[in-house]
Chains A and B, each alone.
Chain A
Amino acid sequence: MYINFKAIANWAKSAAGITITISIAVALYATINSGPYVLVNTIITGGMLALVATGLTLMLGVLNIAMFAHGEYFMIGSLTAFYVFTPISNYIMENPDSFLVIIGPVIAIVLSMVSGAIAGVISEKLVFGPLRRRSTDNWVMNSFLLTVGLSVLLINLHQLIFGADFKGIVRYWGGMPVSIAGAFISRDRIMAFLISGLIVFLFWFFMTYTRTGRAIRAVSQDATGAQIVGINIENIVLLTIALSCALAGVAGGSLLFMYPSYPTMGLEPLYMAWFVVILSGLGNILGAVAGAFMVALLKVVTVEYIGAGWDFVVPSALIMLILIFKPSGIFGSEVRGVLDK
């Protein structure tokens, strides 16, 4: 069997290769040094981040909207899951043998995805659509500021209608934690990771192999060209927003047991997802997934070795360094080309 060592060496010398190798090394070191829970935490946080960040990178790639309100769809998803799951869990308490023990959480998570998609469609119809029809001059900046307003609006609507207290649940699926390689992991965490893995896989499959997914990618590469070959831009735009907000919503819904719902809960996933997008460059779904795990690792390792609360300082400093030396991200190549129209 012939192995192309030269290609591997070249890859290892590229920015992507260096970062991936270093992250794997750091992950291994931390796992050996502090125990496997570092790896487990990284994988679960990374799975959630991958969902939010792929939505964000999709928005940026297709619609050129630098979303500041993406965390708010995360919040909407978790809020929906809370209000759907609370009655279900009360019912389960009374009837422990009901089929809802298994299905109930799934219903809540699916509904959180649907509510995220609906919220995305509504915001497209009420906010982005009117702006697009009015003018597309300086679109990136204007739409970005629009999403800033949207974020403030959604946060405070939550506070006004549902109150500012923490709305959380104890668990989705009960039962004993599972032991994997000496670390005890609750079933909810495993399920959350499985859900995010499944959805990212489905999403990647959809984008790569279906006709609609290819149409979305075509629009992200060249909107005019896509229109010439007969793609309905309006539908694609609507679908993209619904998809990316649904991804954020399902992330919020499936992590309700870790992050209770409250008005400003969306900020942290938003910061982290932006770190991922900047790190991995734009329009690259697999890159965003890899970047999500790197940022998650960075965060977990920071909390482990430096202390809680530093997890904004160290990742931002590192990402600023990356931005200085590689402005287009470690996997991307034409960030500026896409954004500077």
Chain B
Amino acid sequence: MENIQKRQPVNTEKSREKENNSSISKESNQSLSKKGNQSLSKERNQSILKEGDQSISTLDVFLEKTGFTPVGLLGVILLLIMPFIPPFNQEYLLRWLIYAAFIAAMSVGFDFTAGYINIVNFGYAAVMGYGGYTSSILAINLGLTPWIGILIGGLNSAILGLIIGMISLRLRGIFAACLSWFFGLALMGLATKLVWLTRGPLGLRVPRMFATESNIPFYYLVIILLVAMYILCKWVVKSKIGLAFQAIGQNMDAARTSGINPVFYRVFNFTLSCALAGILGGFYAHYYAILTPEVMHTSKTVEVLAVAYIGGRGSLWGGAVIAFPFIFIMEIIRSTLSNLPGLNLIIYAMLLILVMIYYPGGFSYFFDTHIRKPKNKALRYFLNGRETSAS
């Protein structure tokens, strides 16, 4: 039964850290047990686990497969009906919603790198812009439909991520962050200077994805992208690869000694997260219909970073949840106090500083420690899903 206990939901940040420290040894245990005679007891444990699982409902299976909790599923349903709830059915609020969902999806991809292998990809916005430029240039010059263009943009960004991952391999922590940052600066400089291709600071006029004036199809598209990206990242993180990511993020040398090859995992992580950024960049370009080098600026990365960190690093969902109230508050402050420019940015910088100093776990840590463990059993199921599933 020891095995089952290990599969208990990793609820709090602290317990997760402990888990991470032990995960390295666990990894080595697993590799050892392949040869040793521990494997027998292990298989028995797994068979017990399977027998215990037979009474679960289809909803649970679905939740387990997608990595959602019931409350998360409810949140997605709420997002899906959001455009029909009165205050949000106005077009300008819908635009805010789309932007919030876009930032939420960005923060999922960003947290996939920053929260797990502990390298801040400081050129994330530039990678996003690169994907957007790829897609729009294809659409303008070759007349390619945006649907394929977005995918090609994602692929192109994935190649870029592969390159960044490869060349940052020898560097660690802050130096890898600097390298991706310089990469982003170089890309932004290129986008500004290659005027014959990108029209430089004037901006590229991009065909929109749907021919309508309405924002609703765009809204559903970005929600689908957000959910799909979350499921994909969660799926990777829940698998054995995610464990390796965490081991590398905690202590690379220890991870290497226990037989994890950091080359593959780090490059894979960069490639995937950059591919997601590229797809989102394509969406951004074909929604706003104009693309300037400004979108690749470091301040855009900082915005995503603030959302991801206030939401809670290493949780994936934290940033996605916090993006909606965050963007709304920022937009409300900006539109009501327009005579005080920059006040919203001051507030978000203060928030980032306060969170970093006094509450480094962010929103997801708060949720996990204070809200997630009520006494009531039904409520507990509602918040956590089935007990043994990793949330």
Contact = CB atoms under 8 A, between A and B. Distances in A.
Is B truly associated with A?
yes
B179 A146 contact: no
B173 A340 contact: yes
A313 B170 contact: no
B302 A152 contact: yes
Given A153-B346, A316-B186, A135 B341 contact: no
Contact of B182 (A140, A145, A155, A320): A320
A185 B111 CA distance: 51
Most chain A Cβ neighbours within 10 Å, of B170, B171, B174, B345 = B174
B185 A339 contact: no
A102 interface: no
Contacts of B186: 312-313, 316-317, 320
Interface in A137-167: 138, 140-142, 144-146, 148-153, 155-157, 159-160, 164
Contact of B172 (A130, A149, A309, A336): A336
A190 interface: no
A271 interface: yes
A138 B349 contact: no
A48 B360 CA distance: 36
Q: Is the interface of A mostly helix, strand, loop or mixed?
A: helix
A339 B119 CA distance: 13
Contact of B352 (A141, A145, A307): A145
Residue in A141, A149, A150, A316 with the greatest tally of chain B CB atoms within 10 Å: A149
A148 B357 contact: no
Contact of B118 (A127, A134, A138, A155): A138
A119 to B, nearest CB: 15
Contact of B349 (A149, A316, A323): A149
Give the one of B181, B193, B306 with max A CB within 10 A: B193
B305 interface: yes
Interface in A204-227: none
Interface in B160-189: 167, 170-175, 177-179, 181-183, 185-186, 188-189
Interface centre among A148, A155, A317, A335 (most CB of B within 10 A): A148
Contact of A324 (B167, B178, B298, B341): B167
A153 B179 contact: no
Contacts of A152: 299, 302, 345-346, 348-349, 352
The residue among A135, A150, A278, A312 with the most chain B CB atoms within 10 A of its own CB is A312
Contact of A339 (B173, B189, B348): B173
B358 interface: yes
Contacts of A309: 189, 192-193
Q: Which of A151, A152, A324, A340 has the most chain B CB within a 10 Å cutoff? A: A152
Given A127-B353, A141-B174, A339-B175, A156 B167 contact: no
B contact residues, range: 35 or more
A320 B346 contact: no
B346 A156 contact: yes
Interface in B41-83: none
A339 B349 contact: no
A168 interface: no
Could you tell me the dominant secondary structure of chain B's interface residues? helix
A301 B348 CA distance: 39
Contacts of B353: 127, 146, 149-150, 153
B356 A149 contact: yes
A335 B188 contact: no
Interface residues of A, number: 47
B356 A131 contact: yes
Contacts of B193: 307, 309-310, 313
Nearest to B188: A312
A152 B353 CA distance: 10
Contacts of A313: 186, 189-190, 193
A106 interface: no
B173 A316 contact: no
B173 A156 contact: no
Contacts of B118: 138, 141
Interface of A: 66, 127, 130-131, 134-135, 138, 140-142, 144-146, 148-153, 155-157, 159-160, 164, 263, 267, 271, 274-275, 278, 307, 309-310, 312-313, 316-317, 319-320, 323-324, 327, 335-336, 339-340
Given A312-B189, A316-B186, 4 more contacts: A130-B358, A145-B352, A145-B356, A320-B183
Q: Which 7 A-B pairs have the closest CB atoms?
A: A156-B342, A153-B349, A149-B352, A312-B189, A152-B349, A313-B189, A316-B186
Interface of B: 118, 120, 167, 170-175, 177-179, 181-183, 185-186, 188-190, 192-193, 298-299, 302, 305-306, 309, 340-343, 345-346, 348-350, 352-353, 356-358, 360
8 contacts: A130-B358, A146-B357, A148-B305, A152-B349, A160-B342, A275-B182, A323-B167, A336-B175
